[in-house]
Amino acid sequence: MKVLLRAVLFFDALLDLMLGILLLMSPFTTLYAALQLPQPQPALFGQLLGVALIGLAWLLWQATVNGQLTVPVARTVGQVNLASALLIVAWMIFLELPLQGAGKIWLPVLAVVLAFFAAVQIPAAKRVRNRERQLRAERELQEQENKKETRKEPGVAPAARQTPSPEYRREPVITPPPGYGPGTEVMTEPEPDETPSAHHARQNPHS
């Protein structure tokens, strides 16, 4: 839809450029007589309108190549084209605009072309604007979902950044040998008495 809108804006720019050049030549009566068109009176007003149309043609060209200007320019120019077409028809029907020969063809054709441009530009600009708003809303919703997902993730540092907890290092226990150091003295047991002899065991204790 936006491609069609840009194409219509391009042809509208060409039409406005040609009309602007024609109105800049308002002082040349022979040109208007050859085209059988009513000459602007005074010629200054025609030239001022020609300058305005050339500026509008330049704006339409900018809207054709710049996507950010396409929708607002198309919406505004579409309304201007519709008003211009209605104004031409009103002058031809109700105000009895003096036309001769080819002039009776040029102005109706101009009104039809302007009405066609308006019929394409106004609804197309509305559709493109709604489409862009929808895409912008979807993009914002996607960004909000991405932010929520990042917030739900646990705040654990990455494995590469985790510092391993130091393990408890057990020192080897060295047991001192007996008799070395305080409290490690070895107590020697007393030797038992010599066992009595068998003869002594056999003696009568009562004797």
Please write the tens of the pLDDT for every residue from 13-27: 999 999 999 999 999
Residues sharing a CB contact under 8 Å with residue 88, sequence separation 6 or more, in sequence order: 107, 108, 110, 111, 114
Q: How far apart are CA 96 and CA 36, in angstroms?
A: 16
Is 103 within the bounds of a domain? yes
Is 206 within the bounds of a domain? no
The domain tally of the chain equals 1
Is 183 within the bounds of a domain? no
- pLDDT tens, residue by residue, 43-81: 999 999 999 999 999 999 999 998 888 999 999 999 999
Cα–Cα nearest to 51, from 23, 79, 91: 23
- pLDDT tens, residue by residue, 66-123: 888 899 999 999 999 999 999 999 988 888 777 778 878 888 999 999 999 999 999 9
- pLDDT tens, residue by residue, 155-193: 555 555 555 555 555 656 566 555 555 555 555 555 555
Is 8 within the bounds of a domain? yes
- Domain region containing 133: 2-142
Residue written as tokens 């406005």? Answer: 16
Is 115 within the bounds of a domain? yes
Which CA distances in Å does 178 have to 171, 185, 188, 190? 21, 6, 12, 18
pLDDT given at position 201 = 47
Query: What pTM was computed for the model?
Result: 0.65
Is 129 within the bounds of a domain? yes
